[in-house]
Amino acid sequence: MTMRGRSIVLVLALLALAGAMFAAMANPASAATREEIESELGFTKLAMEPSDTQAGGHPDLNVVTEWVSGGIFAGGGTLPTLRRLKVHTPTGFIGDPHVTPKCTLTEFSSAACPVDSQIGTVSIPNLGIFGIFFPLYNMETNPDQAGLLGFTTPLIAAPVFLELSSRTDSDYGLDTVSTPQIKLGINSLETNLWGVPADPKHNKHRFLTPLKYLGACFDYQNGCPGETFAKSNIPERPFLQNPTTCGEELIARADVEYYEDYEVGGEAPYPATTGCQQLSFSPSILAKPTTERSDTASGLDLTIKIPQSQSGETPASSELRTSLITLPEGFTINPNAADGKVACPDIAAGIGTLFGAQCPQFSKIATVTLDVSALPGPIPGAIYLAEPKPGEPYRVILAADGFATHVKLLGSVRPDPQTGQLTLAFEDLPQSPLQEFDVHVFGSERGLFASPPKCGHTPVSSEFVPWDSQLLNSHSTGFMDFTGGPNGAGCPGATRPYTPSVRTGVANNTAGQHTPFSIELSRSDGDQNTTALNVNTAPGFAATLRGVPYCPEASIALLHSPSHTGKAELASPACPASSQIGTATTGVGAGNHPLYTPGSVYLAGPYNGAPLSLVVVVPAVSGPYDLGNVVVRSAIFVDPVTAQVRTVSDPIPQILEGVPLRLRTILVNLDRPNFTINPTNCDALSVDSTAFGSEGAQFSQSSHFQVANCANLDFGPKLGLKLRGSTKRRGHPAVKAVLRTGEGEANLGRVEVTMPKNELLDNSHIGTVCTKVQFAEEKCPADSVYGTATAQTPLLDQPLTGPVYLRSSNRQLPDLVADLHGQFDIELSGQIDTPKSGGLRTRFTSIPDAPVSRFTLELDGGKKGLLVNSRSLCKAGKRAAVKMVGQNGSTDSHAVKLQSACGSKASRHKRHLRRLYRARVVR
């Protein structure tokens, strides 16, 4: 083309530009409605054409966009003009704006951009001159820009910039946004991006002197030879990369924003990528705990490497879609790790947005570094605890920022619900050329993880899934070594030891006083886990059950329901407050700083053959996690002879929602006011406990227990004896004995009653006797019942009542046994004999150390009467010898007058009549 021809072309282009700008400045006709204008707007052409469809290849990309803009509207006025053009490449299409030098704004404005910063060409067909193209440069960016391209031409006398960004709100694909610096009437743009900018094939389109481009070239296909073009001096690194998937539909999209607040979009197919079989995929993993000690709080250092080709001649490796890393069995979530932590909400993490994460500092659990080949260097970040969701309770958020790229990825830690073995999962990762991923999970005393309970060379397995389904998943195995025990100890043997510490105590050791009672069991790291704890309290240590209702069985069932969460229990306990008798605190987790969680202790009804039970409820809530409720029920057995209390616990849960609890401490404090009460016996006693380990061990301990100030207790029980029925010789009177004690006195330990010599045991009336076997099986014959007994105690709402049996014994005479029933059962056994001094004696030698305000014993008379009068009651002695010994050692011996019909008003009247009768007979 001659110089004259070029001038004509230039004049035509300027005229076309002037007409477009004139049309843009005209006012729209008032007659055109918004709907009418919108119906005219849209793309007339949208195409995205790669020079090569090789998956992971580095094609030149020709992008053509034509849209309706400016011009005279048929209804009058002008159409809106371009404000911004957005082009969205297909998912998986990658751009790396860091492979070439950058042109500064100063260089750009003076048309002095370095040759090596050219990254493609641009043409504007609607200027009226077809074939002319302009250089497109890789521009220096602001801190908030991932990439920036720019071009300019004297024909429009204004720069146009194309900002590059990643769709970090969705699929992390590549976007370009073209924003002219002035209001233009252009309605088309054709951009040719070079896949490998330094490739020599682009030399014919490489502008050496940008000021000469007006007359430089109108033939894009062949280029324009001469001194205006030159070769590149940088390595041939790829700027563009095709998706690494095959057989999937790929779509390119574009949007046009107009100045007049209109926006239209369109889409076009992107040629399907091919040749996935040529892609490589060989990730590897290195996992190392922050400790080599077993049963210890631990962090984790994790590195994933995926080799990526940096050559413009070979396809890239397939991108990683899913990473599944299974840690060794026994390497589990540490239950104390969440203490003091909070969750980062998805909205704060910027999930679904283009913004960076703004997670709370206390949700941070790890630091990360991402090395992506499309970025000039690694970018730092962190991993945060995410809000739990149904099915994914242990979600995490990976956030990293660098080079104006805000990465936000969701992952999860998935424990096996039975063993706690962990799988670290990141699924549906974006198609991004990740080449190295480094994680450091914090490993303080409350590290996120806890190491296995035993030493060993333990495997770490992984599965990596590529984005292209034609490639096989990659599997890799590594190992973790644990070479020592916790706290500097050596490795445990085949069976870990179990030597817990058990402490018991009362707040007030004054005899007969109410006092809180506590028991604490703790174990060290390295010991077997505790699976159960049984406790025998000291004889005489009792509880005031009066006024304490049971926690209903329906409420206990609710505690086990998944719908009643730990937070729900904290907000509204299932058991009524009136049934609470104490508190519980558990410490869980490996390391020197367990997590201590408060709970409650409730009184409940019969359970597992016991008359009473305890329900210990600990809401498992820590940080952002709610794992429900730990509920342990213990059956309470009361020894019928001594009234000693024995608790037998259900198995203690070892794992909850996939988290092994690693129980370190159990502290139960029965602190309900005026509930537990000391014995009145100051002898040295003991609290006996038995704890069970998870590997079969059993640990028993007797803890010293002794109360004080027993001598200060009063002791003055009152016994009343009454004989009813026949008072004649050979009569068989019924017996009623009533024993009363005062409040705050020492409890009875022994009672011995010797009847006067005129009251004998009638052996002929000893009929059926209950055997010990029958008594134990509660199958005593009805004929073995010789009376009834009732015991009233301030400890219970209702008295204990029951029959009185004659039960076989190892002595000459059977025992007299009161079989009392109520909230629990008590057996009072009296030995019957005849002392040398004469009379019939009954001795109760093992009375439980418990307060009894009134005890009534009634024995039948008549044909079932065991006593027989050897003389008339009205003539014989009427006093019984009574000896009572308190639990504190105090004694009280005295004679008790037998009340009988002889002393009654009716008896006196009968005697008076008899005397009158005898007097008349004599006269």
pLDDT of residue 346: 94
For 671-712, the pLDDT digits (tens) are: 999 999 999 999 999 999 999 999 999 999 999 999 999 999
Q: What is the mean pLDDT of residues 385-404?
A: 95
Helix or strand run (H / E) with residue 556: helix 553-559
Q: Residues with Cβ < 8 Å from 125, sequence gap 6 or more?
A: 66, 188, 190
Residue where the block lists tokens 């040759």:
115
**Taking a C-beta distance cutoff of 8 angstroms, is the pair 360, 344 a contact?**
yes
Amino acid at 43: F
- CA triple 414-417-419, angle to 5 deg: 100
- pLDDT of residue 573 exceeding 50: yes
Residue where the block lists tokens 């290849």:
57
- pLDDT of residue 753 exceeding 60: yes
Mean of per-residue pLDDT scores for the chain: 89
First to last CA, the chain: 181
Percent of the chain with pLDDT over 70: 89
Radius of gyration of the chain (CA): 47
Give the C-alpha distances (Å, rounded to integers) separating 352 from 93, 410, 413, 464. 19, 11, 21, 25
Among the listed residues 266, 279, 15, the one whose alpha carbon sits nearest the alpha carbon of residue 127: 15
- pLDDT of residue 813 exceeding 90: yes
Give the C-alpha distances (Å, rounded to integers) separating 481 from 419, 495, 662, 825. 20, 19, 21, 57
- pLDDT of residue 60 exceeding 70: yes
Phi, psi (deg, nearest 5) at residue 785: -85, 125
Cα separation, 416 vs 395, whole angstroms: 15
Q: What is the mean pLDDT of residues 528-557?
A: 97
Instruction: Indicate the DSSP class of residue 553.
Output: H
Among the listed residues 757, 721, 894, the one whose alpha carbon sits nearest the alpha carbon of residue 837: 757
Strand, coil or helix: 231: coil
User: CA 217, 219, 221, 226 torsion: positive or negative?
Assistant: negative
Amino acid at 643: A
For 269-313, the pLDDT digits (tens) are: 999 999 999 999 999 999 999 999 999 999 999 999 999 888 888
pLDDT of residue 24: 41
pLDDT of residue 447: 83
Pairing of strands 891-899, 718-724: parallel
- The burial of 733, by beta-carbon neighbours within 10 Å (0-12 exposed, 13-18 middle, 19 or more buried), is given as buried
Amino acid at 298: S
pLDDT of residue 222: 57
For 197-237, the pLDDT digits (tens) are: 999 999 888 876 544 444 345 555 555 554 456 788 899 99
pLDDT tier at 7, thresholds 50, 70, 90? very low
Among the listed residues 762, 734, 757, the one whose alpha carbon sits nearest the alpha carbon of residue 871: 757
What's the predicted TM-score (pTM) here? Answer: 0.85
For 31-58, the pLDDT digits (tens) are: 567 787 888 888 889 999 999 999 999 9
- The percent of the chain in helix, strand and coil, each rounded to the nearest 5, is 15, 40, 45
Give the C-alpha distances (Å, rounded to integers) separating 364 from 244, 370, 400, 613. 33, 17, 13, 43
Pairing of strands 854-859, 663-670: unpaired
pLDDT of residue 650: 97
pLDDT tier at 798, thresholds 50, 70, 90? very high
pLDDT tier at 578, thresholds 50, 70, 90? very high
For 12-33, the pLDDT digits (tens) are: 344 344 444 434 444 443 456 7
Amino acid at 583: T
Helix or strand run (H / E) with residue 178: strand 174-180
Where is average pLDDT lowest: 70-79, 154-163, 653-662, 766-775?
70-79
